[in-house]
Amino acid sequence: MAPVRLRHPKGVATINVPFDSDTYTVQDLQQEIYAASQILPSRQSLKTGYPPRHLDLVPELPVSSLGLKGGDQLIVGEEAEPASRSNSAAKVDHKPPAPVAASSPPSSASSNGPVHVTTSDGSVLVHRVVPDDNSCLFASVALIFEQDMSKAQKMRQIVAEGIKKDPVTYNEAILGMPPSKYIDTILKPLTWGGAIELTILAAHYRTEICSVDVETGRIDQFTPGTDGGIGGMRCIVVYSGIHYDAATLAPMVDAPADWHQTMFPITSTDTSDSILVAAKKLADILRSKKAYTNTATFDLKCEVCGKGLKGENEARAHAEQTGHTRFGEY
């Protein structure tokens, strides 16, 4: 038995998984997740790693097929429809964007402007690209909350303070390392952020952060706790598999930055909210342009020692063994 941490919409839990058992299946794991989260197995979506990657759930296979190990953290979400059962099923879901109705203004990206979609009220949701410098998550959130992406380091400091203030939630089991070490690591400009950082920043700014995944169109909602729900506010970040950008609303695609709206009133707690509908359309356009990376298979090179690596798992293992945290994609 080995512990696995669960972070689900209702809180945090730890379950023990017999990874060395040939009879303990993915379905058995899903049943334990159901007991902790009350999310039906058919509607469970699981992510793990930093940045988070989706797990393909085939209930009949042994749990070892997921590539998990003791101490890993699973981020549990709920699908609106039954989750895919295999790689082939998942591929069916990755459709190109549907044609825009003739009565709707076009969604596009001109050669002279950013990718954008036109919303129901005539505004445009614009893809705001931030530098690819390992601080993209923090720069995106800084652009949204501080209107200044250069304040990325301030976002890191907020995360560090959030961990210090809540040692019960952000303990060694959840963080995967002693909190003091995690804080030292996340304060370094070259360290990636992920679900833990988005959760803390959502709570700090009392604003729901919605991360739309380009490859799948999924939206992960990081809620601020008691300040969330209808009547609260939300914002949008766009996740490509290895990079975060922001999405903001403007009266026209070439509007000055100070005309952009970065936070939006929550009108629905599900993805039928008009701003989330627009965010999914934005992901459709980016997906059609292949603007995403599959983190399980992409080729990386350690920029410290030059070693070639395949996928996020090898990069994470290399970082743990060597302390090297600078990677570039081939």
User: Which residues are identified as catalytic?
Assistant: 133, 136, 243, 324
**Cα separation of 77 and 54, whole Å?**
10
**Cα separation of 137 and 51, whole Å?**
10
Cis ω for the linkage preceding 52 (within 30 of 0): no
**Cα separation of 218 and 212, whole Å?**
6
Nearest partner of 33 among 11, 49, 60, judged by Cα = 11
**What single-letter DSSP state applies at residue 115?**
-
CA distances from 254 to 75, 112, 220, 251, 280 (A): 37, 9, 28, 9, 21
Q: Using CB atoms within 10 Å of the CB of residue 313, give its burial: 0 to 12 exposed, 13 to 18 middle, 19+ buried.
A: middle
H or E, element range at 269: none
Pairing state between β 299-302 and 308-310: antiparallel
Residue 87: which region, alpha, beta or left (left: phi > 0; alpha: psi -120 to 50)? alpha
Residue that the structure tokens 């909210």 belong to: 273
